[in-house]
Amino acid sequence: MKLGNFFQITEKTAAFLTFGFVLILPVILSFNPYYLSVFIIALILGGVSLSWNLLAGVCGQVSFGHAAFFGIGAYGSSLLVLKAGWNPFGAMIIAAFFGVIGAIIIGTPAFRLRGPYFALSILGFAEVVKLLTLNLTWLTDGSQGLFNIPALPAIRIGGTTLEFFISRTTNYYLAAFLMLAIYLVIYFLNHSNTGLAMSAVQGDEETAAGIGVPVFRTKLLTLMVSAFCTALMGAFYAHYVHFLSPDSAFDGSWSVMPIVASLFGGMGTLIGPSIGALVITGLDEFVFKHFFETGHKLFFGILLAVVIVWTPKGLFGKSIRKK
């Protein structure tokens, strides 16, 4: 990683570059609907990866089950709209709070212990939430899934109308906006006193506790923020694809891919995971799928192992100075 030593930019510059790129990407792709749909998913994944990394990269708690929060957000918002007739925008926000409730349910017992307990508890939690979604058929329609989930209503700004039902472009920019919002939340949280507490917990829990950092509370709070943002992205996903099944909303990919994206982009940075998400989604769609049609995700296993062993700071970790 000699490159990292020559080429160094600050976190802020990296963030400006990333969001600048995201802004002009549709122009580069000449608004091709297929490419846009690929990168909408990449941006959704980017938002989830940023949230995952807040917990893992900043606070040191690895989660193998973020799909739980993603699915809770997706189902929560869809059900509020379909069964209670809510406005999708309001439903998305409330569904994100459902994610927070999930975080409290699993975080409270699991964060009492150190070590791998949390990582595995949340994996079990994701399985259980999926199981409940499959079996509480009176609420979720079970394995049949939810159809015709309404798109977000059109927004009128001045004379222009932004509609979300057909236009990939508006969905793309809303996804980008959500990712930016999540990034800003994480950025300011990291630069607050709570952020210092998170870093202390990541560094050494016992020392942190010794100097008066409320370890348990810090971990739980970080998980709650992370779950909120993940569930928000899940809710957006539901209104974007219009269809959910327990298998799609709680797909293990929503747990796995944020990990790959974060490691690839650099866990020690704040913006890195979103860069990682854009790159790996592109790789998966345009390269890996051409090699192995069904098992293409095996490349991500290799990628994880190789990054962890040989470049633990990720591909951009050394190039981005965290300030």
Partner 1 sequence: MISNTTIIQSVLSGLLEGGNYALYSLGLAFVFGIMQIINMAHGEFLVLGGYIAYWLLVKWGVNPLMALPVAALLAGGTSFLSYRIFIERIRTTVELNTLVLTFGIGIFLSNLYLQLWSADIRNISVNWMEDPVHLGGIYISLGEIVTFVISFAAVLFLHLFLRRTKTGKAIRITAIDRDAAALSGINVERVDLLAFSIGGALAGLGGPLLGMLSFVSPNTGLHITVKAFILTVLAGVGSIPGLIVAGMILGVGEALTVTFVSSSYRELFGFTLFLVILLARPSGLFGKRG
> What residues line the site for partner 1 (CB under 8 A)?
56, 60, 62, 64, 109-110, 112-113, 115-117, 119-121, 123-125, 127-128, 131-132, 134-135, 252, 256, 259, 263, 292, 294-298, 300-305, 308-309, 312
Cβ atoms of 19 and 176 closer than 8 Å: yes
**Which CB sits closer to partner 1, 110 or 241?**
110
Minimum separation from the CB atom of position 292 to partner 1 (A): 5
Minimum separation from the CB atom of position 113 to partner 1 (A): 5
Minimum separation from the CB atom of position 110 to partner 1 (A): 6
**How far apart are the two ends of the chain, measured CA to CA in Å?**
21
Minimum separation from the CB atom of position 61 to partner 1 (A): 9
Helix/strand/coil for 149: coil
Q: CA 109 → CA 66, 162, 169, distances in Å?
A: 17, 44, 43
**Which CB sits closer to partner 1, 29 or 256?**
256
Minimum separation from the CB atom of position 30 to partner 1 (A): 33
Minimum separation from the CB atom of position 261 to partner 1 (A): 13
Cα 235 to chain centroid, rounded = 12
Token pair 């020559």 is at which residue? 6
Helix/strand/coil for 100: helix
**Which CB sits closer to partner 1, 18 or 49?**
49
Half-sphere exposure of 43 (CA within 13 A, CB side): 31
Minimum separation from the CB atom of position 309 to partner 1 (A): 5
Note the helical H segments in 204-271.
205-210, 215-241, 246-249, 253-265
**Which CB sits closer to partner 1, 259 or 271?**
259
Instruction: Annotate 122-142 with DSSP letters as a single string.
Output: HHHHHHHHHHHHHH-HHHH-G
**Which CB sits closer to partner 1, 16 or 292?**
292
**Which CB sits closer to partner 1, 12 or 297?**
297
**Which CB sits closer to partner 1, 9 or 123?**
123
Residue 298 in tokens: 């095996």
Cα 91 to chain centroid, rounded = 19
9 pairs with which residues across the strands?
320
